[in-house]
Structure 1
Amino acid sequence: MRTSINKNGSDASGLNLPPHGLQDSPRRTSIKGLGIFILICILGAGLLYIDQNTSPRPAWEWKPQPFDPPVQYAFIPEDPKCPSRPPDSTEEETKPPLIACNEWRLHANFKLGKGRHDIGVPFGVGCGGRRGGVSVSDDDCTSDIQLFDAASQVQLSDGKQRSGALRITRDGHRIAYLSKKYMQFVGWDLPTAQQKAISPRVDAQALEDLSSLEISPDGKFFAVSFAGTQPRLLVTEFATGRTTTLQGFCAILGISQGASRIAAQRTCSDPNEADTVTILKRDGTVISEWRGTDSIENLSPDGKSIVEIQTDFGDDGDEYLATRNALTEKLTKKLKLHLLSEPSDAVGHAWLTNDEYIVEAETPEPGGSFGYYRVNVKSGSSRRIRDLGLNPGSTVSLGSVLARD
């Protein structure tokens, strides 16, 4: 259903890309003398007419270029310039869908002079110094690259705003987001500069219904889900660009390697109804279904386990990391979290491997963080991922987090 974006100006999926230029093929003629003179005049007038085309042209048009360094994480700054509320407007033409803000930044690490870094977006580079409490060499560099095409906030039809998700594969080489340029979700392979559509163009209603955005750990499959009156899950194979639409599923709880298993939900709107966890194949075949809880987090890369962050609301306020068999719902482990000696709130982020899950220790006060930890789901041992920093942004999406760990 989806195809790769054609850099010559269009593709079969309906992306309207601007043409690279006009081409003229004047007929050759054997007219001599006056006829040749008249022909030259006509052609000259035609070229002059083309040159006087006053249609506006963009001052700068972004075109992806190959980018080899893995993205360690993406973030929205702690002090975003994006307003929390849309500006008042009485202009009738101001209608949603509207990309209100595009403040996503990609944080990448690389060695100076190694690999291709021309991502097609201007960015600064910082090399040497100390990072994560460790001295690094002068050719050890980092960059924070603002991705102008990625929506970080979207205005809805009722005047409200919602955040725009961005996802990264664990190797840091593929990302997915809502494109401001095309008004649809795209997947992007950074080293090859290849982009593909993973959804149709979205309108105001689709943005209202948007529920989840995910990528399989190996980057082979991308998924977008929508709730609302027509819940559906779109699964796109990146290699072929083909999309499968699975009706009746409104949210994604995770995708395994190769999308051999997908954890999804059928109900997303009724807070009084227990969430049903459905494990299915990528063709829509249901292989297991069971009643879940509101603490369900993500499906493991091998598709065998689902992780939960459970909180004991007693006097001690203990928190636990629990895993369940994805097919049987059976509790396999329940481990008390020991992230810090001081009080903190555990927030799950993503699987690092089949044996480790990344948990953030948030401060009791809103907006703070004590850092990110890799927790072994079999033993409960934890270790801080120091190179991520304590609080890299107001919103963070993790990629190749162990770039220097």
Structure 2
Amino acid sequence: MAGTVIDCVGWKLHVPFGMDIELSTAASHARSKSMFDTDPIPIEITPDGHRVAYLDVRELRYLAKDLRSGFTRPITPRLTPEEIVAITSVASSADSRHFAVSTRENRRTFVTDFETGRTRTLNQVCWAYGLTGDSLMGSAGCDGRDVSIDAIRFDGTATRFRSEEERPHDMSADLRWYIDFGEPTSVYETATGRRVRVLPSELSEFQWAGADTLVAREADIEDEGDYIAIDARTGELISTGIPYSDSIVFGKVR
């Protein structure tokens, strides 16, 4: 592909309680020919664990695959080399129906309904943090700093959510909650800004793995140990049996 080098192809999804899933045509790293270092190309596993979105090296577009039926649907048009190396985020809705793929190139986000195949293009949206059936949380800021986060409806109207010095690290798939990594690390309600849960200080690397579930690892253990699931509603801690990895994407874990 002119101007872009895809250095690594193929993802294997290790499933703790079933057979591994091979995505043999999924690109995992790409770079511009003028650059030496490669950047990872994100994939997205839906919160219910039923679908996965990835950049296909044959079609040069993002595809979403239903892991139960095997049905695959394009969720972006064919991407240019400039768009591929500038991908910022891939997000999915809590019900696994809607996907959003964002790129710095021309500050565009493609939003697709998996059931109907309809794709919308949202201009001046460089990053998507999460989405529902009719809107997404996104930002025009591309570098991750000094960003204003907006609730953007698919008809193009937008409402300011809040201004941030840095992009939010994680919002729940249904956009109800977000994590604030201050002291202490806590879960907040998106609609009101109310803190609903203080997360355990002995855990680190929090991320969402379902609409109501976070995963984390013990802060004082390096490169080993299993991930721990936290129920965001009750605070209950549950062992997942999933070992730590520096390259991991979570869908539903319990």
Would the TM-score normalized by the shorter structure come out above 0.5? yes
The alignment of Structure 1 onto Structure 2 pairs a total of residues equal to: 253
Give the drift of 1:385.
3.0
Match of 1:268 in 2: 142
More displaced, 368-377 or 204-213?
A: 368-377
Contact 1:99 / 1:153 at 8 angstroms: preserved in 2? yes
Is 2:124 the counterpart of 1:248?
yes
Q: Structure 2 CA distance, aligned partners of 1:302 and 1:399? A: 14
Partner of 2:48: 171
Question: Are the aligned partners of 1:307 and 1:324 in contact in 2 as well (CA < 8 Å)?
Answer: no
Q: Which has the larger radius of gyration?
A: 1
1:87-126 matched pairs, under 5 angstroms: 95-108=2-15
What is the distance in 1 between the residues matched to 2:189 and 2:136?
A: 15
**Which of the residues 90, 97, 119 maps onto 1:213?**
90
1:388 corresponds to 2:242: yes
Aligned to 2:76: 199
Q: 4+ residue runs of structure 1 moved beyond 4 angstroms?
A: 362-365
Distance 1:301 1:270 in 2: 19
Provide the rounded CA distance (Å) in 1 between the counterparts of 2:197 and 2:163: 18
Rounded to whole Å, the distance in 1 between the matches of 2:53 and 2:190 is 28
* Residue identity matched to 2:210: L
- Indicate the SS of the match to 2:109: strand
Cα separation, 2, equivalents of 1:106 and 1:338: 30
Q: CA deviation at 1:299?
A: 3.0
Does 2:253 align with 1:398?
no
Q: Which residue of 2 aligns with 1:57?
A: none
Structure that is richer in strand per residue: 2
More helix by share: 1
After TM superposition, give the deviation of residue 369 of structure 1 in Å. 4.2
Instruction: Give the share of equivalent positions with the same residue, in percent.
Output: 23
Q: Normalising to structure 1: TM-score of the pair? A: 0.57
Residues in 2 aligned to 1:238 and 1:268: alpha-carbon distance in whole angstroms: 26
1:306 aligned residue (156, 159, 178)? 178
2:33 corresponds to 1:157:
yes
Give CA-to-partner distance per residue, 1:310-342, whole Å, 9 cap, x none.
2x4xxxxxx41231434x5x24336142445xx
Superposition map of 1:16-95 within 5 A: 95=2
Partner of 2:229: 374
Give 3-state SS (helix, strand or coil) of 1:206's partner: helix
Instruction: Tell me the alpha carbon deviations over residues 147-191 of structure 1, each in whole angstroms, 9 at most, x when there is no partner.
Output: 211111113232331112111122322110000121111111122
Counterpart-to-counterpart distance in 2, 1:401 and 1:223 = 22
Classify 1:293/1:270 alpha carbon distance in 2 versus 1 (closer, same or farther; 3 Å): closer
Structure number with higher relative contact order (C-alpha < 8 Å, ≥ 6 residues apart): 1
Question: Which of 183, 186, 190 is equivalent to 1:325?
Answer: 190
Q: Partner of 1:300: helix, strand, or coil? A: coil
Q: Contact 2:12/2:22 (CA < 8 Å) preserved in 1? A: yes
